[in-house]
Structure formats: C-alpha cells, structure tokens
C-alpha cells in the first residue's frame, strides 16, 4: 500500500478521532494569507474536511482534494451543507 493512502483505510476512525481545528488557528491562516471575501482556496490533502469546514463557514469558495476516496466521502458528508465547497 502506498503511504498516501494509509489514512484512507481508517477514514471513519480518523473522522471521529481527529480533533477539529480551533477557530483561532483558522483566523490566523486567513490573516497570514491576507484572504479577503471572494478569494478562492485550493486545499490539497483535505482529508475528511476538518480544516475545510472552518474556511467554508467564512464563505470562501473552496476546491478541496484528497487522494483517498474514503477520506473524500467523509469530507462530502460533513460539507454537504456548504454550496461554496
């Protein structure tokens, strides 16, 4: 098995066990990157979407990708309510 698919085998466990990112961290990234409303984000390696959701809540248009289909399935479930992802 390729290392890039290691987490895909445990995507459901990862989704439940992995803590979400603190709002302060998301704000720091937005500030550091000088992101403005309407700026687009490309997230490579989104996993099950823990960071993605923080940016989605702020309205950024996001293209999120991951090599693991099970990781993406988890992300799609949690991000289904966001039309900007």
pTM: 0.86
Q: Is the pLDDT of residue 1 over 60?
A: no
Gap between the Cα atoms of 15 and 50, Å rounded? 8
Q: Whose CA is closest to 25, among 61, 63, 51, 60?
A: 51
Higher pLDDT residue, 2 or 41? 41
Phi, psi of 34 (to 5 degrees): 55, 45
Beta strands in the chain (DSSP E): 41-44, 62-65
Quick: pLDDT tens for 5-48: 677 787 888 788 888 899 999 999 999 999 999 999 999 999 99
Which H or E run includes 70? helix 69-79
pLDDT at 3: 64
């Amino acid at each position: 098995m390729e290392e890039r698919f290691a987490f895909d085998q445990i995507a459901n466990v990862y989704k439940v066990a992995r803590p979400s990112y603190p709002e302060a961290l998301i704000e720091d990234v937005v500030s550091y990157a000088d992101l403005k409303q309407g700026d687009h984000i490309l997230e490579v390696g989104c996993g099950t979407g823990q960071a993605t959701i923080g940016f989605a809540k702020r309205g950024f248009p996001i293209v999120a990708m991951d090599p693991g289909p099970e990781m993406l399935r988890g992300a799609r479930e949690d991000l289904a309510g966001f039309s900007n992802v």
